Amino acid sequence: MMSLFADELPWRFDLVPGAVVLHRFALHEASGLLETITAVASQATFRHLVTPGGLTMSVAMTNCGQKGWHSDAHGYRYTTHDPLSGKPWPDMPANLRLLAQRAAQEAGYPDFHPDACLINRYVPGARLSLHQDKDEQDRAAPIVSVSLGLPAVFQFGGATRQSPVQRVLLEHGDVVVWGGPSRLFYHGVQPLKEGAHPDTGAVRYNLTFRKTC
């Protein structure tokens, strides 16, 4: 007999106007996404970037797509080539692009054409402090975020650093889309708790799809 766990049923939740959590939206394709991450990382390895202020980030990152996000002493920016290898960033595989487009559509953004996918890797203790995604020139397009592996507490605030923050547990297969009036809202990830996920071990991955220009 098939058993259905309430936990695995999809539901949606509007954080603020323009921002929605699509619970378990990517669950059934998660193993394919993880294989794709491994393939991308074999071409463009995960690395701990350094902020313009000289701090090494606890989250390890890589990218696929026409553009990739990079940070160093000169600032935050998108590049066409991986500064580590000098090669173009790996192409964005179709399964990633299509998932991002379907999630954006579901959230009310039917014409999403991402040109960058930032891949974040968190181990226990890794975190992302409150920030805005503002290195993209195209502010009409939303951000689509896909979570895989260990759960993490996502913080979603408002237009200023002082705005009240909502906290949502993002689990394996969850997707968050924010755009429109919430496109530049502050967000972050609390330190990842210890744990072991059957598909990733002690790791959380997050994919964020962006339209940079």
Q: Which residues here bind ligand SIN, judged by CB under 6 A?
A: 120, 128, 145, 147, 154, 187, 189, 206, 208
User: Among all residues, whose Cβ is closest to ligand SIN?
Assistant: 206
Joined together, the tokens standing for residue 22 give 């699509």
The residue among 62 and 147 lying less far from ligand SIN, judged by its C-beta, is 147
Number of CB atoms found within 10 A of residue 49's CB: 16
Cite the annotated binding site for substrate by residue number.
69, 76-78, 135, 161
195, containing H or E segment: none
Backbone phi, psi, residue 159, to 5° = -75, -20
Q: Is 68 exposed, middle or buried (0-12, 13-18, 19+ CB in 10 A)?
A: buried
Write down the least CB distance from residue 187 to ligand SIN, Å: 6
Write down the least CB distance from residue 120 to Fe ion, Å: 9
C-alpha span between 169 and 21 (Å, rounded): 10
Cite the annotated binding site for 2-oxoglutarate by residue number.
120-122, 204-210
Write down the least CB distance from residue 207 to ligand SIN, Å: 9
Joined together, the tokens standing for residue 139 give 């502010």
Q: How far apart are the first and last CA of the chain?
A: 50
Write down the least CB distance from residue 111 to ligand SIN, Å: 22
- Site for Fe ion (CB under 5 A): which residue of 82, 115, 133, 171? 133
The residue among 2 and 166 lying less far from ligand SIN, judged by its C-beta, is 166
Cite the annotated binding site for Fe cation by residue number.
131, 133, 187
Joined together, the tokens standing for residue 111 give 């014409």
Joined together, the tokens standing for residue 119 give 């891949």
Write down the least CB distance from residue 208 to ligand SIN, Å: 4
Cite the annotated binding site by residue number.
69, 76-78, 120-122, 131, 133, 135, 161, 187, 204-210
Per-residue three-class SS string for 49-105: CECCCCCECCCEEEEEECEEEEEECCEEEEECECCCCCCECCCCCHHHHHHHHHHHH
The residue among 200 and 206 lying less far from ligand SIN, judged by its C-beta, is 206
Q: For Fe ion, how many residues bind (rule: CB under 5 A)?
A: 1
The residue among 92 and 144 lying less far from Fe ion, judged by its C-beta, is 144
The residue among 86 and 210 lying less far from ligand SIN, judged by its C-beta, is 210
CA of residue 213 relative to chain centroid, distance: 18
Residues binding Fe ion (CB under 5 A)? 133
